[in-house]
Amino acid sequence: MSLLNNINRLGQEADATFLSLLPHTTQDLDDHCPTVYWFRQNTYYGHGYGFDSVEAAAVEQGLQEDYCLMERDFYKLLRSGASWIPLLEDLFTRKSDQACLYVQAGLETGGFYDPDYALLWDGPWNTRYARPALTIFKARIDHIINDLNCGEDDMAQLKLPSGYWTDYDAEEIKNATVKDLESACCQDCNALVLTDEDQNELVWWRKLTGRQTYGDHEVSGKELDKLGVGHVTLFLDKLTLLRALLQAGVSLRLPRSAVPKQLSLADCEETTTAFLAIRQYIDQHEWPLATFSDSLYEHLKEVVAKRLLEMAEPNNVIVIPSPPGWEVFLLKWLRRAVAFLVHRACDENGWQHRRMHWHDDDAHVYYAAPRGTVMSVAARAMQFGVPALDDSFDDLSTSDDAIDVEMEDL
């Protein structure tokens, strides 16, 4: 397929490429209405081709190519496995908020925006709140209990959408997983109990749940941004630091219904590299460790910058290449992780206060920390009778008075 081949080699040749897609429904002599997909590829060559900038190349030497794909070829393209296809599919099917807003902005810019456009993507979800799987399942099978047929095993007669009746254990349904409910089928005709409409509602319920979860973590994370990293001594074990990094990442990872994974800064290669660099670095120290909170923040930045510089190509770059906005994301992520360690230590007892947990009184996430994990510089010096620690992560030191911290798996 020439379109696929051309796109795949552009990364080695072009400075800028814009790919546009326009589906068009036609009517033939047999009153069939097939859809054809018009692609337009605009490629601009700048540096290395005699131009000072991409903008100058766009004016002087823009290459435009058009492709027409029939429906069968279009869906074959979507199954090609190319790295850029998921982004194309997201825009085409409007899977994410970002895709809907991007297309809407394009229509407005081109003067084609229809006020009814937004209604096309609202669906039925503005009229009712999506229900969880168990509620949908019970509503679909029309739970009817026949006292005459209920024995000691507490079985119930259930009428399925297919019209057949079958026996179900009410307790079994109550304890079933979402996967069990989705795959449940009629024992006579093998038809799924949940209809396509039910499945769509369940997908929407998952999206709403993901949005709510992200919203809760984001509110908690923004509060940490206001509090800052401070200047206190932290007495940490390795897993606590790793969990703090993961928790801060959760508060910055937008739900898939808002942004596709390909555009999520929390999921990009640079973020994974940064986390692995920090993990490798802390594996080189003995634990528990004591350090200043602000020193920890500064040194984590240095560790990440050093690793990215080592991996950058070409190896003599001054500015580390990264996705737009990623440097801001990195600083916010590391700042939240350290602020989490400073402000969210919980020394209460009980199983509900182990590891990462929520406090109902303020709706924030906390981590299990023995008393003395976070102390002011003066308190630390008074307790241990030693001068303040050197203001450097490299001089992190273990202490004979180390608190015995339970090491749990992540």
Is residue 75 located within the same domain as residue 169? Answer: no
Is residue 87 located within the same domain as residue 158? Answer: no
In a domain, 127, yes or no: no
Q: Averaged over 242-250, what is the pLDDT?
A: 92
In a domain, 409, yes or no: no
| Higher pLDDT, residue 107 or 35 | 35
Which is nearest to 247 in space by CA: 141, 365, 165, 360? 365
Model pTM score: 0.68
Is residue 55 located within the same domain as residue 158? Answer: no
In a domain, 254, yes or no: yes
What integer pLDDT is reported at residue 114 of this predicted model?
A: 67
In a domain, 74, yes or no: yes
Is residue 171 located within the same domain as residue 237? Answer: no
Is residue 114 located within the same domain as residue 138? Answer: no
* pLDDT classification of 41: cutoffs 50, 70, 90: confident
Is residue 165 located within the same domain as residue 255? Answer: no
| Number of domains within the chain | 3
Is residue 116 located within the same domain as residue 148? Answer: no
Instruction: Measure the CA–CA gap between 234 and 376, rounded to whole angstroms.
Output: 9
Share of the chain above pLDDT 70, in %: 72
Residue type, 90: D
Instruction: Measure the CA–CA gap between 312 and 310, rounded to whole angstroms.
Output: 6
| 3-state secondary structure at position 279 | helix
Is residue 344 located within the same domain as residue 227? Answer: yes
In a domain, 339, yes or no: yes
Handedness of CA 374, 376, 379, 380 (dihedral sign): positive
| Higher pLDDT, residue 382 or 305 | 305
Is residue 138 located within the same domain as residue 270? Answer: no
The structure tokens listed for 109 are: 């810019």
Q: What are phi and psi of 108, to 5 degrees?
A: -65, -40
Domain holding 82, by residue range, is 2-120
The structure tokens listed for 348 are: 């209460």
Instruction: Measure the CA–CA gap between 363 and 220, rounded to whole angstroms.
Output: 7
Is residue 180 located within the same domain as residue 220? Answer: no
Tens-place pLDDT, residues 119-177: 665 655 555 667 777 787 777 766 544 443 444 455 666 667 777 777 777 777 778 88
